[in-house]
Amino acid sequence: MITGTPIFEKKNVLITGGAGFIGSHLSERLLREAKVICLDDFSNSNIVNIQHLLQYPDFEFIKYDVNQPIDLDQFPELDKFRVKFQGIQEIYHLACPTSPKNFENLKVHSLWANSRAILSTLDLAVKYKAKYLFASSSVVYGEATEERNFFTETDEGRVNHLSPRGCYDEGKRFAETCVETYRQVYKIDAKIARVFTTYGPRMKIRDGLLIPDFILNALEGRDLVIYGDEKLEQSLCYVTDVIDGLARLMTTGPEVSLVNLGSDEVLKMVDVARMIVDLTRSSSRVVFEAPLVFLTRKGSPDLRRAREQLGWLPLVRLADGIQRTIDYTVANKEALT
């Protein structure tokens, strides 16, 4: 934070993409200890995710495209947080489209989120001497293979930068380079979380994301569609575990700058689909279709660094996390559809 800058009661935290799936859970978590400024343009999120937070005086939502230059002085609604005097203490950059089905229409948005927006938010961190955390992705490691499906933070990224999804995969790699460069040049405390597949309440439905679509289809008696074959595997980490990891990473010192967050348990998606059919007491079938462009074969994270440096491991069992997600979907089914 800026030397000599007073903190009035609580720290100020800025979250880009704060109305998204992970962002809304992070906003909720940080309200326990901070004043939260949520920036989101709803290009890949929904007001429903943060509607319950709007009542709190320590939460301020601003509809804004973070791909544009960010000047917090232009928002009079932030006067109550005394940003002009206190500044910003922490910045989480989460904004980036991740829609498998709508990926083609969001390519430029993805490109900007990993270039314009990353630089704009890093410039804010320099201005306010704020701690900074970028939510990167396991895609930077490249597609998993039989020989290479368990990734540690020291592994080099291998992505096809000219592929149909290069704006996301190479975009995340470029964004990481930006974070590390600002860390080296401007000496800010900047961190990278490589987030593996995460699931839970508030995921977008009918978007090619397997878990929410599995659940909704099971509730409606429709086929559960796996985009791949019976061998399709990936890890799944419940959203509150990931949020806990992000919050813990932000509290570390400058010596901790890069950590994997996710589950190291490999699951066959056909088994997960069948679990959802059983838990919803559905008569749905599990069927297979061609993979979507946005979906790639993903590996699992080496969690030794997260365990040693953050004291973190995922705690929510798959059956419990799936049941919570089912309960949320049932309670919000009308609004979701």
Tell me the two tokens of residue 271: 């088994």
Residue 23 has pLDDT above 90, yes or no: yes
CA 223, 101, 332, 318 torsion: positive or negative? positive
Residues 6+ apart with CB under 8 A from 99: 44, 106, 204, 207, 208, 294
Question: What is the average per-residue pLDDT within 292-311?
Answer: 87
In this predicted structure, the answer to whether residue 295 has a pLDDT above a threshold of 80 is no
Q: Return phi, psi of residue 125, to 5°.
A: -60, -40
- Tell me, what's the pLDDT at 148? 83
Lowest mean pLDDT among 184-193, 274-283, 326-335: 326-335
Please state the pTM of the whole predicted model: 0.93
Domains located in the chain, CATH noted = 11-197+239-263+295-316 (3.40.50.720)
What is the per-residue pLDDT for 335?
A: 65
Residue with tokens 């509730």: 219
Query: How many CB atoms lie under 10 A from the CB of residue 125?
Result: 24
pLDDT in tens, 100-144: 666 788 889 899 999 999 999 999 999 999 999 999 999 999 988
308 C-beta neighbours (distance < 10 Å), count: 11
Catalytic residues: 168
Find, among 107, 257, 222, the residue nearest to 170 by Cα.
Answer: 107
**Spatial distance between the Cα atoms of 272 and 213, rounded to a whole number of angstroms:** 12
The CB density around residue 312, as the number of other CB atoms within 10 Å, is 21
Q: Mean pLDDT, the chain, as a whole number?
A: 91
Can you give the pLDDT at residue 9? 79
pLDDT digit string (tens) for 232-269? 888 999 999 999 999 999 999 999 999 999 999 999 99
> Burial letters for 154-178: b for 16+ Cβ neighbours within 10 Å, e otherwise?
eeebebeeeeebbbbbbbbbbbbeb
State percent of the chain over pLDDT 90. Answer: 73
On the question of pLDDT at 1 being above 60, the answer is no
pLDDT of residue 158: 85
pLDDT of 151: 94
Asked if the model's pLDDT at residue 153 lies above 80, the reply is: yes
Tokens found for residue 318: 């798959």
pLDDT at 3: 46
Q: Which residues pair with 90 in a beta bridge?
A: 13, 131
| Residues of the chain above pLDDT 70, percent | 93
Q: Which of 17-31, 187-201, 286-300, 322-336 has the weakest average pLDDT? A: 286-300
CB under 8 Å, gap of 24 or more: what pairs does 206-211 form?
206/101, 207/99, 207/100, 207/101, 207/102, 208/99, 208/100, 208/101, 208/292, 208/294, 208/295, 209/100, 210/269, 210/272, 210/273, 211/236, 211/272, 211/276, 211/322, 211/325
Tell whether the torsion through CA atoms of 163, 166, 170 and 172 is positive or negative: negative
Report residue 19 as tokens.
């109305």
Which pLDDT score is estimated for 6?
Answer: 62
